[in-house]
C-alpha cells in the first residue's frame, strides 16, 4: 500500500523548502543538516510504501558516479541509470520502501550537493552504489543500519531489530536416506549478506540435526555458490549416498521466477529441468527470496509438472519482499522477538520444526491425516509452515508486507 502526504500545511511547507533549495541555485553555508532536511522534505512529497525509511549513506565527491545494482531485473523494469560523474561534492540519501527486504524491491536515490542542488534523483529496484561499490555505511547488517540514528534518519514506523541470538534449538533426528542442499546465493558485496550468512548457518545445523548426519547436508555458499555448484551437490548426494529424497533450500535475492545465485541468474525453468533430470529423486523446495511466491505459482501451475516434486514453500508472495528479522514496527512487537533471528520467515520456520520434532509434539506429526501426505517429512514441513502462518509469528506478515505460500499436489 502506498500513501501520499496530502495535508495542505505540509505540502505548502515542503514546496517552500524544495523551491528554496532548487529554484534559487547555490545556497551559501549549506550544511549536512540542511541537506538532510531537504531530503526529508522531498521524501514527504513522494508516493512511497507506508513502511518506507529514509537513510543517509555518506558523502560523495566530484567525479563519483552514483547508480544501483538490481540482481534480477523485473520483466517490465526500466534499465537502471547512473548519475554520470558528479559535478559537485554532496550527500547521498536513500529511501528504502521495503526496509531491509531482499532485492529486488522499490527505493529512491537522492543526491544533494554542498550548494543545495539536487544532483541525482532516481527510482530504483536495487541497492545504491558509488563507483560500482556499496557505500561503507551499508556494508553491515540491517539491524546495525536501522539502529544507527546517524544513518536511518527517517523511520516513522519505528522499525527495530533486537540482538541476534547465537544459539538455536536442536532438532531431533527423524529421517534417513534424506538429504538437503542449503543454498546461500549471496556474495559479500550484496545487501543482506550478514543476515543470509547467519540464517545459512542456522538452516544447515537444523538440517543436520533433522537428518542425523553431516554428510547428507550439503552447504552451498560463497565463493562456491553458482548454480552449477548447487547441481553438483545434488549429484554428490545421489552418487555417494544413494539419497532418494532431497530438500532444496534457497536464500537469495530474487525476481519473477528468477533468483541470483553467486552473481548469476537462476530460473525456475532450469530448476524444473533439474527435477526431470533427477527423476529418481523426490524433492521438496523451499524459497526465502523476494518474489518467492512466483516460484510456487510456477511449479503449481505447470501442466507437465515433474512427478517427483512434492512440496514448494515460499516465504512471501509473488509481488512481495522477503524480510530480515523485524522485532518492532508501527507500534507492533514480534511475538517471538527474543527467539527468531537473522531472517524473519526462515528462522520462525526452524523454530516450528524444533517444536514439532520434540518428543512432546512429534506424535501430532505422525497423526496428521489431512492433508494426506505419504511421509512424515511432508507432514512436518506442512505443520511447521501452518504454525508460522496461523500463529502470526511473522511481524512482517501481520503488517501485510509478507504472505508465505505453500503448494503441494492434491
3-class secondary structure per residue, 321-343 = CCCECCCEECCEECCCCCCCCCE
Residue 16 pLDDT class (50, 70, 90 cuts): very low
**Segment 146-195, tens digit of pLDDT:** 999 999 999 999 998 876 554 666 666 566 579 999 999 999 999 999 99
**pLDDT at residue number 12:** 36
Question: Average pLDDT for residues 49-69, to the nearest whole number?
Answer: 95
Report whether 128 contacts 111 (CB < 8 A).
no
Does the pLDDT value for residue 11 go beyond 70? no
Report whether 287 contacts 315 (CB < 8 A).
yes
Domain boundaries, the chain: 2-154, 178-407
Indicate if the alpha-carbon torsion angle 180, 407, 292, 280 is positive or negative. positive
As its CATH architecture, domain 178-407 has 3-Layer(aba) Sandwich (3.40)
Report whether 230 contacts 181 (CB < 8 A).
yes
CA atoms of 365 and 350, how far apart (whole Å): 15
Question: Average pLDDT for residues 62-90, to the nearest whole number?
Answer: 89
CA atoms of 216 and 16, how far apart (whole Å): 64
CA-based radius of gyration for the chain = 23
Report whether 209 contacts 174 (CB < 8 A).
no
Judged by average pLDDT, the poorest of 19-33, 78-92, 189-203, 280-294 is 19-33
Amino acid at each position: 500500500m502506498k500513501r501520499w502526504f496530502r495535508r495542505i500545511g505540509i505540502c505548502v511547507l515542503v514546496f517552500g523548502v524544495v523551491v528554496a533549495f532548487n529554484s534559487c541555485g547555490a545556497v551559501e553555508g549549506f550544511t549536512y543538516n540542511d541537506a538532510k532536511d531537504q531530503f526529508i522534505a522531498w521524501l514527504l512529497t513522494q508516493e512511497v510504501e507506508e513502511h518506507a525509511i529514509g537513510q543517509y549513506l555518506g558523502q560523495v565527491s566530484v567525479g563519483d558516479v552514483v547508480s544501483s545494482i538490481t540482481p534480477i531485473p523485473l520483466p517490465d523494469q526500466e534499465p537502471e541509470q547512473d548519475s554520470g560523474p558528479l559535478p559537485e561534492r554532496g550527500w547521498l540519501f536513500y529511501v528504502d520502501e521495503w526496509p531491509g527486504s531482499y532485492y529486488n524491491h522499490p527505493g529512491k536515490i537522492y543526491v544533494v550537493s554542498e550548494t543545495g542542488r539536487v544532483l541525482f534523483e532516481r527510482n530504483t529496484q536495487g541497492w545504491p552504489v558509488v563507483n560500482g561499490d556499496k557505500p561503507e555505511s551499508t556494508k553491515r547488517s540491517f539491524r546495525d543500519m536501522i539502529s544507527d540514528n546517524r544513518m536511518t534518519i527517517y523511520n516513522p514506523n519505528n522499525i527495530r531489530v533486537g540482538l541476534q541470538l547465537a544459539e538455536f534449538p536442536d532438532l531431533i533426528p527423524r529421517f534417513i536416506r534424506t538429504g538437503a542442499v542449503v543454498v546461500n546465493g549471496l556474495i559479500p558485496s550484496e545487501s543482506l549478506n550478514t543476515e543470509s550468512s547467519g540464517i545459512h548457518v542456522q538452516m544447515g545445523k537444523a538440517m543436520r540435526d533433522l537428518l542425523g548426519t553431516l554428510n547428507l547436508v550439503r552447504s552451498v555458499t560463497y565463493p562456491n555458490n553458482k548454480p552449477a555448484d548447487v547441481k553438483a551437490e545434488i549429484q554428490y548426494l545421489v552418487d555417494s549416498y544413494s539419497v532418494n529424497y532431497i530438500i532444496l533450500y534457497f536464500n537469495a535475492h530474487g525476481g519473477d521466477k528468477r533468483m541470483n545465485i553467486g552473481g548469476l541468474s537462476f530460473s525456475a525453468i532450469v530448476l524444473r529441468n533439474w527435477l526431470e533430470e533427477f527423476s529418481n529423486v523426490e524433492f521438496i523446495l523451499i524459497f526465502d527470496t523476494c518474489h518467492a511466491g512466483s516460484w510456487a505459482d510456477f511449479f503449481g501451475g505447470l501442466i507437465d509438472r515433474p512427478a517427483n516434486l512434492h512440496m514448494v514453500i515460499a516465504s512471501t508472495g509473488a509481488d512481495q519482499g522477503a524480510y530480515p528479522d523485524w522485532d518492532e514496527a508501527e507500534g507492533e512487537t514480534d511475538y517471538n522477538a527474543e527467539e527468531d533471528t537473522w531472517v524473519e520467515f526462515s528462522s520462525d520456520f526452524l523454530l516450528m520444526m524444533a517444536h514439532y520434532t520434540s518428543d512432546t509434539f512429534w506424535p501430532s506429526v505422525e497423526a496428521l491425516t489431512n492433508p494426506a501426505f505419504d511421509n512424515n517429512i511432508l507432514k512436518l514441513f506442512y505443520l511447521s509452515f501452518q504454525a508460522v502462518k496461523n500463529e502470526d509469528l511473522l511481524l512482517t506478515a501481520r503488517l501485510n508486507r509478507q504472505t508465505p505460500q505453500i503448494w503441494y499436489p492434491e
